[in-house]
């Protein structure tokens, strides 16, 4: 099998990006090399997302491209990994083009599945696990900046939001052993990385009890502290926080360690308590706002970002207005905004009617986006004149003479080069902004 090269394409969330790095590590250990482009590959893996229908449509489009590549190279093996693999299972093999199907908990089996497919037998493993966290695997970093990295701390989700496929495609929640997380972060720091983002579907429910000391549970606040202690030179971020679970303990830990970035991703989904109940989010509008107030009390200046769904089942204009007013009240620094997309077999698909017409969903979404743009412009304008510590991540896409990085609040800053090195911290004065980017000038290292 040696010398065969794999090419990995990744769609969807940050967790998928990290999973692809785990897959690369597993395949390299089994003797495969990495191809830098599809044309040079013997095996192509597409790591997929099922969260909304358009995410799946994009992957079907890619599979057509792989079909054409297979005409040029009939030995090419095509593998579908991740959430779509888990959701569609054998159905993917029936399309002819796909040779390998592996769900999110089956990646250790990929060398065997690939070998089997190489013998002309279609190969599938979509078993979900209650234990798998890939804890012992050091992901092969494919992001080329060498400065920022994702580290998974848990997998799966137990929340059962009614619109969401994730609990079905990624299985139940399980936490990764803290010692393996800290070791991975230490190794990254030694290799020059200066920022880690701890990833989980709901980081606040992270919990690890050692069999030898079952009374000593490591919760998320403690894990965050252990990671922050790796080095004061290492920035720590995390996502995603669930409003129903985020503890004050996490906020006090953030306030205590300057290297934990002042930014919380806290998806609200809707500003209407009635819709939140239908979504099974387990908090009210008022409880969400109370969490935000607590964040601002304990960590003044903390950025808050969110996810919003427009046009969920039975959403009225009044519910939609409630979302807009909540947005105004909070003033989110960043938002990921979507129209509701019914996903097969979720509770919402089984029990509720997807009754907001598509054009109305789009209209509401556009209203949400327009409001967010004015709000984020306002939030960025408040940055003008401030001096922020920026971790330099790379050369700006717009100009080779400029660098970009982010502030602790996760805002992107572009500024002139001034001989600054990638992977170092610089103080930058913000001089201008748009709703998406801050423009700065270099102050000092
Ligand atoms: N339709 C639209 N958006 C969804 N999300 C999850 N499921 C759906 C769906 N069926 C959004 C939520 C979640 C983000 C990752 O994706 O806002 O927080
Ligand atoms: Fe889906 Fe809710 Fe779990 Fe997030 S918390 S992955 S939206 S079920």
CATH code, domain carrying 416: 2.40.50.140
In a domain, 278, yes or no: no
Alpha carbon of 415 to ligand 2 centroid (Å)? 37
Q: Check residue 444 and give its pLDDT.
A: 75
Q: Is the dihedral of CA 295, 154, 238, 178 positive or negative?
A: positive
Work out the angle at residue 178's Cα, subtended by the Cα atoms of residues 175 and 184, and round it to the nearest 5 degrees.
110
Distance of CA 83 to the CA centre of its chain: 14
Using an 8 Å Cβ cutoff, are 15 and 199 in contact? yes
In a domain, 292, yes or no: no
Name the residue of 11, 17, 51, 201 whose CB sits within 8 Å of the most ligand 1 atoms, as the mutation to test its pocket. 51
Closest listed residue to residue 376, CA positions, set 319, 325, 431, 433? 433
Measured distance CA(377)–CA(371) in Å, rounded: 10
Residue 112: domain span:
5-125
Q: Check residue 381 and give its pLDDT.
A: 95
Is residue 198's pLDDT more than 60? yes
Q: Check residue 191 and give its pLDDT.
A: 95
In a domain, 398, yes or no: yes
Measured distance CA(127)–CA(121) in Å, rounded: 19
Q: What is the mean pLDDT of residues 125-138?
A: 96
Q: Are residues 395 and 378 in the same domain?
A: no
Ligand 2: which atom is nearest the Cα of residue 164? 1
Q: Are residues 120 and 11 in the same domain?
A: yes
Higher pLDDT, 80 or 397: 80
Q: Is the dihedral of CA 31, 37, 42, 47 positive or negative?
A: positive
Ligand 2: which atom is nearest the Cα of residue 307? 7
Using an 8 Å Cβ cutoff, are 223 and 264 in contact? no
Q: Which residue in this structure is represented by tokens 């920035």?
A: 235
In a domain, 137, yes or no: no
Alpha carbon of 275 to ligand 2 centroid (Å)? 15
Ligand 1 site residues (CB inside 6 A) read: 51-52, 163-164, 267, 269, 307, 309, 338, 340-341, 343
Ligand 1: which atom is nearest the Cα of residue 346? 10
Q: Check residue 216 and give its pLDDT.
A: 86
Using an 8 Å Cβ cutoff, are 340 and 311 in contact? yes
* pLDDT one-digit tens code per residue, 255-300: 999 999 999 999 999 999 999 999 999 999 999 999 999 999 999 9
Is residue 398's pLDDT more than 90? no
Measured distance CA(17)–CA(199) in Å, rounded: 11
In a domain, 22, yes or no: yes
Of all protein residues, the one whose alpha carbon is nearest to atom 14 of ligand 1 is 307
Is residue 445's pLDDT more than 80? no
* pLDDT one-digit tens code per residue, 150-159: 999 999 999 9
In a domain, 134, yes or no: no
Using an 8 Å Cβ cutoff, are 243 and 291 in contact? yes
Alpha carbon of 163 to ligand 2 centroid (Å)? 9
Ligand in nearest proximity to the CA of 201: 2
Query: Which one of 261, 285, 312 terminates a domain?
Result: 261
Q: Are residues 20 and 75 in the same domain?
A: yes
CATH number of the domain that 350 lies in?
3.30.750.200
Is residue 308's pLDDT more than 70? yes
Ligand 1: which atom is nearest the Cα of residue 240? 18
Our answer on whether the CB atom of 156 is closer than 6 Å to any ligand 2 atom is: no
Q: Are residues 368 and 330 in the same domain?
A: yes
Q: Are residues 326 and 391 in the same domain?
A: no
Query: Which one of 365, 382, 399 terminates a domain?
Result: 382
pTM score over 0.85: yes
Q: Are residues 374 and 394 in the same domain?
A: no
> What's the 3-state SS for 214-244?
CCCEEEHHHHHHHHHCCCCCCEEEEECCCCC
Give the model's confidence band at 145: pLDDT under 50 very low, under 70 low, under 90 confident, else very high: confident
Q: Are residues 83 and 103 in the same domain?
A: yes
Percent of the chain with pLDDT over 70: 99
In a domain, 136, yes or no: no
Q: Are residues 393 and 333 in the same domain?
A: no
Average pLDDT, the chain: 96
Q: Beta-carbon neighbour count of residue 369 at 10 Å?
A: 13
CATH number of the domain that 195 lies in?
3.30.750.210
Measured distance CA(107)–CA(101) in Å, rounded: 10
Closest listed residue to residue 129, CA positions, set 90, 172, 95, 178? 172
Q: Are residues 209 and 255 in the same domain?
A: yes
In a domain, 270, yes or no: no
Q: What is the mean pLDDT of residues 237-248?
A: 97
Q: Are residues 336 and 434 in the same domain?
A: no
For 270-422, list the strands marked E by DSSP.
Answer: 303-310, 334-339, 387-395, 402-406, 412-416
Q: What is the mean pLDDT of residues 186-196?
A: 96
Using an 8 Å Cβ cutoff, are 280 and 310 in contact? no
Q: Check residue 442 and give its pLDDT.
A: 83
Q: Are residues 104 and 39 in the same domain?
A: yes
Alpha carbon of 38 to ligand 2 centroid (Å)? 33
Q: Beta-carbon neighbour count of residue 108 at 10 Å?
A: 18
Work out the angle at residue 117's Cα, subtended by the Cα atoms of residues 143 and 104, and round it to the nearest 5 degrees.
45
Q: Check residue 355 and give its pLDDT.
A: 98
Ligand in nearest proximity to the CA of 280: 2
Q: Is the dihedral of CA 259, 436, 16, 346 positive or negative?
A: positive
Measured distance CA(341)–CA(163) in Å, rounded: 8
Q: Strand 5-10 relative to strand 33-34: parallel, antiparallel, unpaired?
A: parallel
What is the count of structural domains for the chain? 4
Q: Strand 334-339 relative to strand 154-155: parallel, antiparallel, unpaired?
A: unpaired
* pLDDT one-digit tens code per residue, 203-232: 999 999 888 888 889 999 999 999 999 999
Tokens of 270: 């809707």
* pLDDT one-digit tens code per residue, 36-81: 999 999 999 999 999 999 999 999 999 999 999 999 999 999 999 9
- Backbone angles phi and psi of 261, in degrees to 5: -65, 140
Tokens of 310: 């427009």
Higher pLDDT, 398 or 431: 431
Q: Are residues 369 and 423 in the same domain?
A: no
Name the residue of 154, 161, 239 whose CB sits within 8 Å of the most ligand 2 atoms, as the mutation to test its pocket. 161
Report helix, strand or coil for 120.
Answer: coil
Tokens of 394: 């790379």
* pLDDT one-digit tens code per residue, 7-18: 999 999 999 999
Work out the angle at residue 273's Cα, subtended by the Cα atoms of residues 269 and 277, and round it to the nearest 5 degrees.
80
Is residue 1's pLDDT more than 60? no
Alpha carbon of 89 to ligand 2 centroid (Å)? 21
Q: What is the mean pLDDT of residues 17-46?
A: 96
Ligand in nearest proximity to the CA of 354: 1
Using an 8 Å Cβ cutoff, are 247 and 204 in contact? yes
CATH number of the domain that 115 lies in?
3.40.50.12160
* pLDDT one-digit tens code per residue, 359-386: 999 999 999 999 999 999 999 999 999 9
Query: Which one of 98, 125, 152 terminates a domain?
Result: 125
């Amino acid at each position: 099998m040696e010398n065969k090269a794999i090419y990995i394409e990744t769609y969807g969330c940050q967790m998928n990006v990290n999973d692809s790095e785990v897959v690369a590590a597993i395949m390299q250990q089994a003797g495969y090399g990495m191809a830098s482009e599809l044309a040079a590959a013997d095996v192509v893996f597409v790591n997929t997302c099922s969260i909304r229908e358009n995410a799946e449509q994009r992957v079907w489009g890619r599979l057509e491209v792989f079909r054409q590549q297979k005409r040029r190279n009939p030995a090419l093996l095509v593998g579908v990994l991740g959430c779509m693999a888990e959701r569609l299972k054998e159905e993917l093999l029936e399309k002819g083009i796909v040779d390998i199907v592996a769900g999110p908990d089956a990646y250790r089996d990929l060398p065997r599945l690939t070998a089997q497919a190489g013998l002309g037998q279609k190969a599938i493993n979509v078993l979900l696990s209650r234990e798998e966290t890939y804890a012992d695997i050091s992901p092969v970093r494919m992001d080329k900046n060498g400065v920022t990295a994702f580290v998974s701390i848990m997998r799966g989700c137990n929340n059962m939001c009614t619109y969401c496929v994730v609990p079905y495609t990624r299985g139940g929640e399980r936490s990764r052993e803290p010692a393996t997380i800290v070791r991975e972060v230490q190794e990254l720091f030694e290799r020059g990385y200066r920022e880690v983002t701890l990833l989980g579907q709901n980081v606040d429910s992270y919990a690890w009890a050692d069999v030898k000391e079952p009374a000593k549970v490591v919760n998320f606040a403690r894990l965050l502290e252990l990671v922050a202690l790796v080095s004061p030179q290492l920035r720590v971020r995390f996502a995603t926080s669930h409003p129903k679970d985020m503890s004050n303990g996490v906020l006090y830990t953030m306030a205590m360690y300057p290297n934990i970035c002042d930014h919380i991703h806290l998806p609200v989904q809707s500003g209407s308590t009635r819709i939140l109940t239908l979504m099974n989010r387990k908090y009210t509008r008022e409880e969400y706002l109370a969490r935000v107030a607590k964040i601002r009390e304990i960590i003044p200046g903390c950025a808050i970002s969110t996810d919003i769904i427009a046009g969920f089942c039975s959403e009225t204009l009044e519910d939609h207005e409630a979302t807009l007013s909540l947005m105004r009240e909070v003033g989110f620094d960043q938002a990921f905004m979507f129209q509701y997309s019914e996903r097969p077999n979720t509770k919402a698909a089984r029990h509720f009617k997807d009754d907001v017409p598509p054009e109305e969903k789009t209209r509401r979404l556009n209203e949400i986006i327009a409001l967010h743009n004015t709000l984020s412009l306002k939030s960025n304008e408040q940055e003008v004149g401030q001096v922020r510590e920026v971790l330099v991540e790379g050369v700006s896409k717009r100009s080779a003479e400029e660098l970009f990085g982010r502030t602790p609040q996760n805002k992107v800053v572009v500024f002139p080069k001034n001989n600054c090195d990638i992977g170092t911290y610089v103080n930058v004065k913000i001089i201008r902004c748009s709703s998406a980017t801050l423009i700065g000038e270099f102050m000092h290292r």
